[in-house]
């Protein structure tokens, strides 16, 4: 199966090169699609020098969700993987992430950071993530241990079956809610995780957590 790796990026010049090398090293037929969200630090200029990268150039900063939606239009693979442009997640986990889909056991697979206890992250972030996962589990009657993980894999036709509306980080709760509500088969696999701080470029804010909760609740009752 051909993989389409979507990488939303904003001001990631310090890490994007190594991320691309790690993705390239994975032994699968693949396409790499980077949606640059109007970076100002040289990220976009660097990406233009990478001949194997499909570059989607956002006209202004619009958010991670908008970047993923734009990149999804360029997808030609059988499976879509979401990959952040930092170094928190390890592409060596791709094989495990797509295995349930390849084996015909799942339509969507989440890479859980909590399979082996609490990873190295701020306590407030850990608590927020546990709340998101609990809420998804209760609302959609599916055991979810890591709703907000970056590492998500989908059969392409499944992800394209919904008209995404997300703009920022609410991509995660929107796809979780809308696909689980439709009854698509869900699976989780453990993944490695190396958290970075806001000083290192982490962009999610406290109000994104509130948006996540609202999105999970909202889509339980609307389309």
Q: For the domain that residue 162 is a member of, what is the CATH number?
A: 3.90.550.10
- Give the per-residue pLDDT at 203: 63
In this model, does residue 120 exceed pLDDT 90? no
Q: Which domain holds residue 31?
A: 3-221
Q: Are 177 and 219 within 8 A, CB to CB?
A: yes
> pLDDT over 90 for what percent of the chain?
88
- Residues in Cβ contact with 55 at an 8 Å cutoff, skipping those fewer than 6 apart: 34, 36, 44, 47, 48
**Stretch 67-73: mean pLDDT, rounded?**
97
- Band of residue 190 on the pLDDT scale cut at 50, 70, 90: very high
The distance from CA 121 to its chain's CA centroid, rounded to whole angstroms, is 18
42: left (phi over 0), alpha (psi -120 to 50) or beta: left
The distance from CA 168 to its chain's CA centroid, rounded to whole angstroms, is 12
In this model, does residue 21 exceed pLDDT 90? yes
In this model, does residue 197 exceed pLDDT 90? no
When divided into structural domains, the chain yields a total of 1
The 3-state DSSP class for residue 17 equals: helix
Flag whether the pTM goes above 0.75: yes
In this model, does residue 199 exceed pLDDT 70? no
**Stretch 46-62: mean pLDDT, rounded?**
97
In this model, does residue 201 exceed pLDDT 60? no
Please tell me the least confidently modeled range out of 58-62, 139-143, 196-200.
Answer: 196-200
In this model, does residue 150 exceed pLDDT 70? yes
């Amino acid at each position: 199966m051909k993989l389409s790796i979507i990488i939303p990026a904003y001001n990631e010049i310090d890490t994007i090169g190594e991320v691309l090398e790690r993705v390239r090293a994975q032994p699968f037929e693949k396409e790499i699609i980077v949606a640059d969200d109007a970076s100002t630090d040289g990220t976009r200029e660097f990406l233009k020098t990478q001949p194997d990268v499909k570059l989607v150039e956002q006209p202004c900063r619009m958010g991670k969700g908008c970047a993923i939606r734009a990149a999804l239009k360029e997808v030609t693979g059988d499976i879509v993987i979401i990959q952040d442009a930092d170094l928190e997640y390890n592409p060596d986990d791709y094989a495990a992430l797509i295995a349930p889909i390849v084996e015909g056991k799942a339509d969507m697979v989440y890479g859980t950071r909590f399979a082996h206890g609490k990873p190295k992250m701020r306590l407030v972030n850990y608590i927020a993530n546990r709340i998101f996962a609990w809420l998804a589990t209760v609302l959609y009657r599916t055991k979810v241990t890591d709703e907000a993980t970056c590492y998500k894999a989908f059969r392409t036709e499944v992800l394209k079956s919904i008209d995404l509306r997300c703009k920022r980080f609410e991509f995660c709760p929107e796809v979780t809610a809308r696909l689980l509500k439709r009854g698509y088969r869900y699976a989780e696999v453990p993944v490695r995780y190396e958290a970075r701080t806001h000083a290192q470029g982490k962009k999610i804010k406290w109000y994104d957590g509130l948006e996540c909760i609202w999105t999970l609740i909202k889509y339980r009752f609307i389309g």
